[in-house]
Structure 1
Amino acid sequence: MSIPSPDPSDTRFDVTAWLQGLGVDLPLTFVIHAYAVCILVGILIAAFLTNRRLVARGVESGTVIDFTLCALVLGIVGARAFHVLTHPGDYFYEGANLWRVLFVWEGGIAIFGALLGGAVGVWLGSKWTGVRFWTFADALAPGLLLAQAAGRMGNYFNQELFGTPTTLPWGLEVDPTNAAFPAGLPAGTLFHPTFLYEIVWNVAGALFIMLLGRAVRLQWGRGLAVYLMWYGLGRMVFESIRIDPSEIILGIRTNVWAAFFAVAIGLVLLLVQTRRHVGSEPSPYLPGRTPDDVSARAKAGRDGEVASVYTESDFTDGDAERASTGSDSHALPATSGRA
């Protein structure tokens, strides 16, 4: 009943060899790895779901692409940087090739670094598109968990980042010739499939956030806060049973510390934003940045006039919240802001 290891031939697809079989020669070697496919599938899932949630909030369809371009690049940079900084012994030693720090294709990325870099990318995307940072972050939260779940399948194909030995029936088989197989253990030893634990946890978290959003308004960053707490709690548990090499601080793996800080940041964010913002977001767009505002200014510029456009997005945050709870004609229906 154990989980079998994937056959090495199932983890990569040699495009060059395939084309040569068709009589087409390429001047270079092109291989598609299963891990990369899993990451790509995760990105597509997150983009699709986030786009749907943004459209439901009143954002133009396709805006998610602009955010993705920013967040993806900086997310990769952050993911690689975090991994290198938390595994310095793998890259900084006498005679080391320092260029390997940039060799992302050799493996070695960290989700917490991706979150930090991606957050900067989302902030830039917000400035670019005019969509509020919190609006996008809250819309992204469940899709991000699903993307991480898809990415964890890549760990299965790579036979990496598994847990301690176990006798449970769902234990993971690992090829004893695999470099990650612990020395001194007999062939046939089963390990905790931490990739599977995290997949189940992340999918459950995505469903929880979407269901919770039907009951309460997860706006002003509260959806992101729930994501941070949910993922952080699970990661602390799963990370603690992994046996892959890691830097240790005060007897605790660095990613456990990172998960702890994610939970703490999520809790503080939830408390602060709940206290600061008692009403709905007045608009998913920043003041003066709705598509109608932009179109009006463009038209006024063509006509040589000065645009005078006043919409509900031009409220200050405080004014908008007071309006949403009072009788002001600009108040939005109570159900319009649910994520």
Structure 2
Amino acid sequence: MIAQVNRVAFEVFGLEIYWYAIIIVSGIGIALWLASREAVRVGLKEDDMTNYLIWALPIAIIGARLYYILFDLGPYLADPSQIFNIRSGGLAVYGGLIAAVIVLYFYTKYHFIDPWLFLDVCSPGVILAQGMGRWGNFMNHEAYGGETTRSFLEGLHIPQFIIDNMYIDGAYRQPTFLYESLWCLLGFVLLLVLRKKTTIFKQGEIFLSYVGWYSFARFFIEGMRTDSLYLFGSLRVSQVLSLVLFAGALIIVFLRRRKQPAVPTYLRTQGSDQYIV
């Protein structure tokens, strides 16, 4: 008998608390902790990260929901009350990230903080949180790929409980949540390791590397999923956006290095020839 996970972790006074929510909140908490530690190391205030999150988190949730609804209008026009029913799913990662970056622009402008440096500080924690968040999709039995066989899944040498829970709607499915989660985890490790090399990244390039790294894999993984949002026909929204972001990140790095050679490296202190160690 196949053991299926229960997406409900526990109940509080009759209110069901989902694993998805616990995992997402945990990811955000870890990302905040990482960013706060790094902020102090590069000369920012630890409170800057917390204060930013207070504004960014609710707006990012709204952005993630609006993005999803915009590209899947039909069901919400038929039943507008479902617009607010986020407990049943319907949050798009890209929508949340776009909203968070918009908030970051205004926050850093108001507080006279270099937005590129702020983005660099946040990026490793964000990609880690994204990788964790995909396990929330696993608990909800969502964000999976097309049909496959049990023997294929066993050939991946993944844990048995993942294989069992990839049996969805009468067939085994590609664990696209796992592919993206592992890619994000690898990206997190690489960013942490490489940003200690003071001569590799200029300010802003940790963030741009994160954008390029994530969007590259998301393009291919999105093509495997069965729950994509579409622009029209078979053109998937996230694949188009991934192409734009990947190309944009490369172009910005090239142009900044060519036209703005004076941009300081990530760990160089302002107005100094010394590096933060």
Give the TM-score range, shorter chain. Answer: 0.7 to 0.9
CA deviation map 1:232-263 (0-9, x unaligned): 01101111111125325353321111211121
TM-score by length of 1: 0.71
- Whether 2:184 is the aligned partner of 1:202: answer yes
Match status 1:154 vs 2:163: no
Q: Does 1:11 align with 2:37?
A: no
Cα deviation digits, residues 155-207 of structure 1 (max 9, x gap): 0100111111223114743487x6xx2xxxxx3x3211111111110010111
Paired AA for residue 158 in structure 1: N
Tell me how far apart the structure 2 counterparts of residues 141 and 80 of structure 1 sit (CA, whole Å).
22
1:292 matched to which residue of 2? none
1:173-322 aligned at under 5 Å gives the runs 173-174=164-165, 181=169, 187=170, 189-215=171-197, 216-244=199-227, 246-249=229-232, 251-279=234-262, 281=264
Query: Equivalents in 2 of 1:283, 1:219: separation in Å?
Result: 5
Q: Please name the residue that 2:33 is paired with.
A: 48
Q: Unaligned 5+ residue runs, structure 2?
A: none
Return the offset for 1:68.
Answer: 0.8
**In 1, Cα distance between the equivalents of 2:104 and 2:238?**
23
Letter in 2 for 1:173: D
Are residues 173 and 259 of structure 1, via their aligned partners in 2, closer, same or farther at CA, if it must alter by over 3 Å? farther
- Contact 2:68/2:229, CA 8 A, preserved across alignment: no
| Alpha carbons of structure 1 residues 175 and 159: separation in structure 2 relative to 1, 3 Å | same
The structure-2 alpha-carbon separation of the partners of 1:174 and 1:127, relative to structure 1 and needing over 3 Å to count, comes to same
What is the aligned partner in structure 2 of residue 318 from structure 1? Answer: none
Q: Which structure: larger Rg?
A: 1
- The superposition leaves residues 73-106 of structure 1 with CA deviations (integer Å, 9 ceiling, x where unpaired) of 22111111110111122212xxx22232233233
In the alignment, which residue of structure 2 is the partner of 1:89?
74
Structure 1 unaligned segments of length 5 or more: list them.
Answer: 17-28, 182-186, 285-311, 314-329
Whether the 8 Å contact between 2:131 and 2:184 is mirrored in structure 1 is yes
Question: Distance between the aligned counterparts of 2:132 and 2:227, measured in 1?
Answer: 20
Tell me what 1:302 maps to.
none
CA distance in structure 2 between the partners assigned to 1:6 and 1:144 by the alignment:
29
Q: 2:104 aligns with which of 102, 108, 122?
A: 122
Distance in 2 between the 1:226 and 1:98 partners?
39
What's the offset of the Cα at 1:59?
1.2
C-alpha change, 1:54 and 1:175, in structure 2 (3 Å) is: closer
Provide the rounded CA distance (Å) in 2 between the counterparts of 1:194 and 1:208.
21
Aligned-partner Cα distance in 2 for 1:209–1:245: 28
Measured against aligned partners, the alpha-carbon deviations of 1:123-154 in whole angstroms (never above 9, x if no partner) come to 12213433211111011111110000111110
Q: Note the alpha carbon deviations across 1:22-64, whole angstroms, 9 max, x for none.
A: xxxxxxx422111011110110111111112211101122221
CA distance in 2, matches of 1:97, 1:235: 31
Counterpart position of 1:331: 272
SS across alignment from 1:13 = strand
Question: 1:77 matched to which residue of 2?
Answer: 62
Calculate the TM-score normalised by the size of structure 2.
0.86
1:5 shift after superposition: 5.6
Contact 1:80 1:109 in 2 (8 A): yes
Q: Give me the whole-angstrom Cα distance separating, in 2, the residues matched to 1:49 and 1:117.
A: 21
Q: 1:111 to 1:61 in 2, by over 3 A?
A: same
Which letter maps to 1:331? S
- Is the Cα contact below 8 Å between 2:202 and 2:266 reproduced in 1? no
SS of 2:216 mapped into structure 1 = helix
